[in-house]
Amino acid sequence: MNMSFENNVALVTGAAAGMGLATAKAFAQAGAAVVLADFKEEVVRAEAKKLTAAGYKAMAISGLCAIHNPRAFSLSN
């Protein structure tokens, strides 16, 4: 199935490697602007740079997605 994601933004977590990176690439190839998110800052930035060098719209974010302290995100606080 070929779907177009032109004029859409895809936010992909775990995008530094593996299934997350494959998903980000698939969205980019389908026309989406892709935000790659991962706690591995250097790696995710490098992957976003590769996508932009290939002509896709991509950017990386990091730090915000390192949920190593679940209490920091508790709704009961």
Domains of the chain: 9-73 (3.40.50.720)
Q: Which residues, other chains included, contact 27 with Cβ-Cβ below 8 Å and sequence gap of 6+? A: 5, 10, 12, 34
Summarised one tens digit per residue, pLDDT across range 13-61 is: 999 999 999 999 999 999 999 999 998 999 999 999 999 999 999 999 9
Q: Does the predicted TM-score (pTM) go above 0.85?
A: no
